[in-house]
Structure 1
Amino acid sequence: MRIAAYSDIHGNPIALEAVLTDIEAQGGVDQTIVVGDLAAIGPAPVEVLERLAAVENTIFVRGNTETYLLTNTVPPPSTEDVQRDPSLAELATSVARSFGWTQGAITQAGWLDWMVDLPLEQRLSLPDGTRLLAVHAAPGRDDGPGVEPLTPKETLEDWVKGCDADLVLVGHVHQAGDYPLTQVRIVNVASVGNPMEADLKASWVLIEADQNGYDLTFYRVDYDREAVIDLTHRVRQPAAEYIISFLKGEKVRSA
């Protein structure tokens, strides 16, 4: 059994196509898991949703940006953040306009109704009995603190208590990682579309499983970021400069 897992496409069709091409180049898969944040904060939300839906045997979970779109809310900076730091006002305005722009596009194309049915989590049983859980941020939630290198091990152990899984796949923080805990292994599959790692490549994970166990491999895929920047300008994405800051490496996280 071969499973591809990836997350945080964020409306970036060029990065997504590069990942899908690489999956086929690595021999293809039987199942795909998409771990949330599909369309928002990118130049082509509808195109990305259409492409994802065309991939056979794909299951999805919702991310925090899906929840924002469905509840007419937006990510930080909040009104309170702007009151504390007025320099955030321009960013807050562009992000809010971007979510409105995305919501309008996917509603007109009929995808908002599809998004309503996205579950918080997905579960699979691998051939050896390994219980796999896919969830965007951490077990039980699609937002809030995510799994990253600076997260204390004690915190991770607390997050996975009672999750009834042996392998937990997450995204959310756009930073790949493998975190073996006492009884659970957490793997952050990172981001396809909005890079926050130094090489700025798209990320996906391959799980190869049989009755004897499973192997997990991280893949990094280059793509034409300049083409994404050009597309972002051409479609007049309201948060263009914010999105482009990811593509230019201005949001890289410390390892």
Structure 2
Amino acid sequence: MRFAAIADIHGNALALEAVLADIAAQGIATADIVNLGDCLSGPLEAGRTADILVPLDLFTVCGNHDRYLVEHAAGDMHEWEADAFRQLKPEHLDWLRSLPFDAVFRDVAYLCHARPQDDGTYWLEQVSREGHVHLRDRATIETWADGITQPLILCGHTHIPRAVQLSDGRLIVNPGSVGGPGYTDDAPYPHKVEAGLPHASYAILDDASGALGVTFRLVPYDHMAMSRLAGERHRPEWASALATGFVAE
């Protein structure tokens, strides 16, 4: 079986289009794409992104920012949600409401946005008090995987491409972010996440050799168009990350 995993599009329609084209060029059909959530939030093209995604009917789970768009009152939304919400149609919000917290794809892969039972906590990374983001200890990673029987586990949320093999051979894969190569956050401590380049990221999973293989693909696209759009909408952090993969001081 060979399929693609995407995550964390965050309303970046140009990046999504580039990734979908690259997936098709690899000979992977739309029915063989899974989407790990955080689809629309951000200052870019949420409505256009939704117009692309909804008809595709990808196998999709809900991200924390997807949930915020339908749970938070308009006046209480974080700027990522408020920017997107103004662009969305009722049918886009209905689609977000329909997304499950987690799912199993073809009895092979368990899917969630961040980690089981919690869509807002990093699974494979942790943040130090000093704000350094690094690989989480293996014992905690494995504890959070208890009860999952599938050989492959897919998650997103941190925007960092990474694969971790558990002691029993199961593999956890984060495909990275399609549309957001950097951001800052205050929880659990103030920190930055930076991909270090502006490309759109996704992963291909392939067991044709008998063992599960993972290929991370970094796809160029017109990232400066999205950076300029973020700047025009007074989101300098987004503009910096989209231009360079780094968040400016």
- Scaled by the length of structure 1, what TM-score is found? 0.79
1:49-198 correspondence runs (5 A): 49-55=50-56, 58-72=58-72, 96-106=78-88, 108-125=89-106, 131-148=108-125, 149-183=134-168, 184-195=170-181, 196-198=194-196
Q: How far apart, CA to CA, are the structure 2 residues paired with 1:208 and 1:73?
A: 42
Q: Percent identity?
A: 31
Q: How far apart, CA to CA, are the structure 2 residues paired with 1:105 and 1:112?
A: 11
Question: Once the 2 structures are TM-superposed, how far is the Cα of residue 166 of structure 1 from its aligned partner?
Answer: 1.8
Question: Once the 2 structures are TM-superposed, how far is the Cα of residue 215 of structure 1 from its aligned partner?
Answer: 2.5
Q: How far apart, CA to CA, are the structure 1 residues paired with 2:214 and 2:71?
A: 35
CA contact (8 A) 1:135 1:141 kept: no
Question: Once the 2 structures are TM-superposed, how far is the Cα of residue 135 of structure 1 from its aligned partner?
Answer: 0.5
Question: Once the 2 structures are TM-superposed, how far is the Cα of residue 143 of structure 1 from its aligned partner?
Answer: 1.1
Question: Once the 2 structures are TM-superposed, how far is the Cα of residue 210 of structure 1 from its aligned partner?
Answer: 5.0
Say which is worse superposed, 4-13 or 64-73, in terms of deviation. Answer: 64-73
What amino acid maps onto 2:230 in structure 1? T
- What whole-Å deviation, never above 9, does each CA across 1:154-187 have from its counterpart, x for those lacking one? 1101110112322110110010111001122111
Question: Once the 2 structures are TM-superposed, how far is the Cα of residue 71 of structure 1 from its aligned partner?
Answer: 1.5
Q: How far apart, CA to CA, are the structure 2 residues paired with 1:72 and 1:167?
A: 33
Structure 1 regions of 5+ residues with no counterpart? 75-92
CA contact (8 A) 1:139 1:163 kept: no
Q: Which residue is equivalent to 1:78? A: none
- What whole-Å deviation, never above 9, does each CA across 1:25-80 have from its counterpart, x for those lacking one? 2222341100010000131111111112233x621001110111121179xxxxxx
Q: How far apart, CA to CA, are the structure 1 residues paired with 2:83 and 2:210?
A: 48
What amino acid maps onto 2:26 in structure 1? Q
Matched, 1:219 2:214: no
Rate the CA distance shift 1:158–1:26 in 2: closer, same or farther, 3 A: same
1:223-242 correspondence runs (5 A): 223-233=221-231, 236=233, 240-242=235-237
Q: How far apart, CA to CA, are the structure 2 residues paired with 1:12 and 1:211?
A: 34
- What whole-Å deviation, never above 9, does each CA across 1:186-238 have from its counterpart, x for those lacking one? 1111101011311221111112245944332111111221111223345x3xx
Q: How far apart, CA to CA, are the structure 2 residues paired with 1:118 and 1:6?
A: 15
Q: Which has the higher contact order (CA 8 A, sep 6+)?
A: 1
What is the DSSP-based 3-state SS (H/G/I as helix, E as strand, rest coil) of the residue aligned with 1:65?
A: helix
What is the DSSP-based 3-state SS (H/G/I as helix, E as strand, rest coil) of the residue aligned with 1:219?
A: strand
- Scaled by the length of structure 2, what TM-score is found? 0.81
What amino acid maps onto 1:10 in structure 2? H
1:37-56 correspondence runs (5 A): 37-55=38-56
Q: Which residue is equivalent to 1:33? A: 34
What is the DSSP-based 3-state SS (H/G/I as helix, E as strand, rest coil) of the residue aligned with 2:149?
A: coil
Q: How far apart, CA to CA, are the structure 2 residues paired with 1:22 and 1:135?
A: 23
CA RMSD of aligned residues (A): 2.5
What is the DSSP-based 3-state SS (H/G/I as helix, E as strand, rest coil) of the residue aligned with 1:3?
A: strand
What amino acid maps onto 1:15 in structure 2? A
